[in-house]
Amino acid sequence: MLGTVRTVDSVGEASQARIIVEQVELRDVDPVLWDADAIRCGASMRSAYAHLRHMGLKHLLRGASRTCRIVRVAGGCKQPIGHYTLARHSGVCSFYDGINLFPEYRDLWTKAMHAALSHTGGGIFEYGWRWSPEPSRSKELSTIRGVEFLSTRDILIQGVDFSNWPDWDSYYRDISENIRRNAKKASKLHPDIKVVILRGRKSLRHMVDLVRMRRTMYQRKGVPFNPIRVMAGYLLNLVACPEQMMIATATAEDRILAIQNIVEFGDTHYYLDGAAADHSDGGAWNLQLSMLERAYRRSPSSRFLLGYTDLPVADQAAEGLLRSRRSLRASDWPTSLIRFRWTPQDRPAEADPA
């Protein structure tokens, strides 16, 4: 399916540039080249070939009536410049991982979005994800005729951006002294402490431990937790995308002191969830620093994403989780979760007021 549309620039004048959007089938593309292009675009783990390959299976097993389309974006002479994935559920189209363009074409984002909307047709759309540090697209969307904002939720993606330090030692010296002290405490109290990483189907070995430790942790904090639902989610992800399953543990004396559920794609590492034992003796920080150093050694310019928050920076000092992120010298990437309605405009673009 090939959809060629006439694009409109931000002031409403007809543009000489043409954006072409074309639905593609993953079976027709090379997995290595696809991932390389996605990484070059700065796409998230949601654009990994392994993730997209069985995305339909994941939704099917969850009982969700959802259809997904992977679309390549091209410029002049059908030269590929990026991609996006649309997931339709309950009458709403979600840009599953945003619109990802090669760096040299990112100024064409508005035109690419207009092309995507014209190709899809009018309706309700969602843009943004809680793990994507892409800047808010509210401003660009407001320039597209026919866009009506329904809701906008501003959030901060938080994580360690290693490009802010010249080397690992500089970063290590910059973090909180309490973190360094606690991590060293674990090594002193447990000389046999070791970090073990299990990938893919091997991670099943510690999946029950992850659920059990998270349940115990949430019980201590008085937070609701459904272990059956969480376990089902882990198993579903393992079946649909084993390549993105990775569980790391810090163990000592045959006991798990801390555990983390991590995903890696390109130079971005995602701390999805984890837990620490009731008395981890610093094991949680020992594991955290080990995973951070591992990420840095793999790529000195990598990012280790820790999560998101709705709170403004000024209001985060008293929050335990957010305070710990600050202690790790986390950066903030402001973004927005946007829901909007787009209505095609029948009148010629040249007749519209600027």
The verdict on 215 and 117 lying in the same domain is no
- Specify the pLDDT at position 8: 35
How would residue 169 be classed by pLDDT, with cut points 50, 70 and 90?
very high
211 and 294, same domain (yes or no): yes
pLDDT of 323 over the 50 cut? yes
DSSP-assigned beta bridge partners for residue 304: 160, 269
Same-domain check for residues 18 and 122: yes
Q: Are residues 106 and 11 in the same domain?
A: yes
Q: What single-letter amino acid sits at 348?
A: P
Same domain, 247 and 281: yes
- Check whether residue 142 and residue 17 sit in a common domain: yes
pLDDT digits (tens, 9 = 90+) for 254-307: 999 999 999 999 999 999 999 999 888 899 999 999 999 999 999 999 999 999
Q: What is the pLDDT, as a whole number, of residue 14?
A: 32
**pLDDT exceeds cutoff 90 at 191:** yes
CB 270 within 8 Å of CB 160:
no
In a domain, 344, yes or no: yes
From 13-22, 130-139, 164-173, 231-240, the region with the lowest mean pLDDT: 13-22
In the numeric block, which tokens belong to residue 199? 């990938």
The residue written with tokens 């402001």 in the block is 334
Predicted pLDDT of residue 54: 83
pLDDT tens-digit series, residues 117-151: 999 999 999 999 999 999 999 999 999 999 999 99
**What's the average model confidence in pLDDT over 341-351?**
68
The answer to whether residues 44 and 106 belong to one domain is yes
Residue 124 falls inside a structural domain: yes
Q: Give the model's confidence band at 60: pLDDT under 50 very low, under 70 low, under 90 confident, else very high.
A: low
Whether residue 347 has pLDDT greater than 60: no
In the block, residue with structure tokens 């007749």: 351
Q: Which pLDDT does position 67 carry in this prediction?
A: 78
Based on the domain organization, do 6 and 148 belong to the same domain? Answer: yes
pLDDT, position 315 = 59
67 lies in which domain range?
A: 2-153+335-351
Domain total of the chain: 2
Given this model, what pLDDT does residue 345 score? Answer: 84
Burial class (CB in 10 A: 0-12, 13-18, 19+), 296: buried
Looking at the structure, tell me whether residues 19 and 146 fall in a common domain.
yes
The pair of structure tokens assigned to 287 is: 């594991």
Is residue 52 one of the residues assigned to a domain?
yes
Using the predicted structure, report yes or no on whether residue 3 has a pLDDT greater than 60: no
Give me the CATH number covering residue 205.
Answer: 3.40.630.30
Q: Are 17 and 8 spatial neighbours (Cβ–Cβ below 8 Å)?
A: no
CA distance 47 to 71: 11
Q: Give 13's pLDDT tier (boundaries 50, 70, 90).
A: very low
Provide the mean pLDDT of the chain. Answer: 89
Is the per-residue pLDDT at 220 higher than 70?
yes
**Where residue 62 falls among pLDDT bands split at 50, 70, 90?**
low
* The pLDDT of residue 90 is above 90: no
